Amino acid sequence: MLAVSKPAAAPLPPFPPEPDQGRSDRTDGLAEVRVEGARLRLVELPLVRPFTTSVGTDTVKTALLVELVGDGLRGWGECVADPGPSYFGETLVTARHVLTEYLLPEVVGSPRRPVADHLRRITWVRGHPMAQAALEMALLDLAGQATGRSLAQILGGVRVRVACGVSVGIEATVAATLRAVDGYCAEGYQRVKLKCRPGRDERVVAAVRRAFPTLPLTVDGNAAYTLADLAVLQRLDRYGLLMIEQPLAHDDLVDHARLQALLRTPVCLDESVPSVASARAAIALRAGGMINLKPGRVGGLLAAAAIHDLCGAAGWPTWVGGMLETGIGRAANVALASLPNNTLAGDTSASDRYFSEDLVAEPFRLGLDGTLAVPTRPGLGAEPDPERLARVTTWLERFTGPGTGHG
């Protein structure tokens, strides 16, 4: 009988290393912390101008804040879920539910523990990365304060100031977009991102490029395109964009890989990377060329830092995105932006790009060189101004520990 030999299997492409789910050695050496009580609250801050994307218009920022109290310290976390699930599947109501019923009971009233152990106790909760990230931020703030280490030091930051860009919403007219871009450039922002959607893309990009020939420029489609729009996406290649952010579906990687193979401009993934594992898949599939890091989207700062490391090893640049955070979430984003592979300016704009009065005592101010200072105080290095906090709080709930109920 004829022996049929199986052809040798083609070697697997080099795969990115195994994810560590973000529960990394970055927490080694942090003091143990005890969480005696917690408060959840909603705050509402009007935006200085409406912000329109392909998924809707925001005129006010509603943030869910986590406040942990232990050993005389106070740790703060900001949840970036929106009121509705148009950018991401979580909402303010689902995040509140998950924090109240599942996450906070695991840490409030528990004994003094290493922060890694507190975090291990919440990993059984699947999904809900924005709720998880808010609690993680508050725990890291407590642990950083207890240890005397800033969040940037905990995460492995290497910069004292970080380069800032600005995200410009879809304006009513091209002229209004040009005015907005002009204003932000005059303030010193180092790069401009134009929100776009089918029909509101090439004409605006062409006009901005004509008026600002050397401006570092990007676009963000927030998943509004499909491969049927290939022609316009390929035409955008002509404008020297730094990247095209999340053009295709929020849960797609395969079509982004097909698109990237047909574009010179790097594709930057945002919505399509909701975890460390999905970042690894994106890199393995070559579904783009860079990733926008948002702690809330991926389950926390440690997971975002792990994605930063994976991308660095793969030669993909990273940068820190934004969710119109108050100064609390902004402090965390700026600390994350100080990591070495974040080589592109972030959507980490100054407080006054969003609010006439930020929540934090010391608002983030843009330097003349278009940078923000990385907080240096232990922990987050930012806390709400008590009087302002009281003024903008619309809802508040207290937790004292498991079994004691809340209210």
Give the active site residues. 195, 294
**Residue 220 binds ligand SMG, judged by CB under 6 A:** yes
Site of tokens 């840490």: 107
Q: Name residues whose C-beta falls within 8 Å of residue 372's C-beta, 6 or more positions apart in sequence.
A: 161, 162, 164, 334, 348, 350, 364, 365, 366
201 touches Mg ion by CB under 5 A: no
Please tell me whether residue 388 adopts helix, strand or coil conformation.
Answer: helix
Tell me how far apart the alpha carbons of residues 205 and 261 are, in angstroms, rounded to a whole number: 22
- Nearest CA-CA partner of 365 in 189, 183, 112, 140: 189
Looking at 12-20, 23-31, 101-109, 265-273, which segment touches Mg ion (CB under 5 A)?
265-273
Q: Taking CB under 6 A as the rule, does residue 67 contact ligand SMG?
A: no
3-class DSSP state for residue 318?
strand
Q: How far apart are CA 347 and CA 92, in angstroms?
A: 22
For residue 104, the one-letter residue type is: L
Looking at 15-23, 107-115, 119-127, 320-328, which segment touches ligand SMG (CB under 6 A)? 320-328
Structure tokens at 46: 């009007």
Asked if 270 interacts with Mg ion (CB under 5 A), we say yes
Mapped onto helix, strand or coil, the DSSP state of residue 396 is strand
Shortest gap between Cβ of 399 and ligand SMG (angstroms)? 29
**Please, what is the minimum distance in Å from the beta carbon of residue 355 to ligand SMG?**
11
Applying CB under 5 A, which of residues 220, 252, 309, 325 lies at the interface with Mg ion?
220
Site string for ligand SMG, 260-299 (x = CB under 6 A): ----------x-----------------------------
**Which residue from 82, 79, 126, 83 is spatially nearest to 102, judged by alpha carbons?**
126
| Near ligand SMG by CB under 6 A: residue from 90, 347, 358, 383 | 347
Using the minimum distance from each CB to ligand SMG, give the nearer residue, 68 or 282. 282
Interacting span for ligand SMG (CB under 6 A) from 259-267, 316-324, 376-384, 388-396: 316-324
Give CA torsion, residues 63, 69, 74, 80, to 10 deg. Answer: -20
Q: Enumerate binding residues for ligand SMG (CB under 6 A).
A: 53, 55, 87, 167, 220, 222, 270, 321-324, 347, 349
Residues lying near Mg ion in the complex (CB under 5 A) are found at: 220, 245, 270
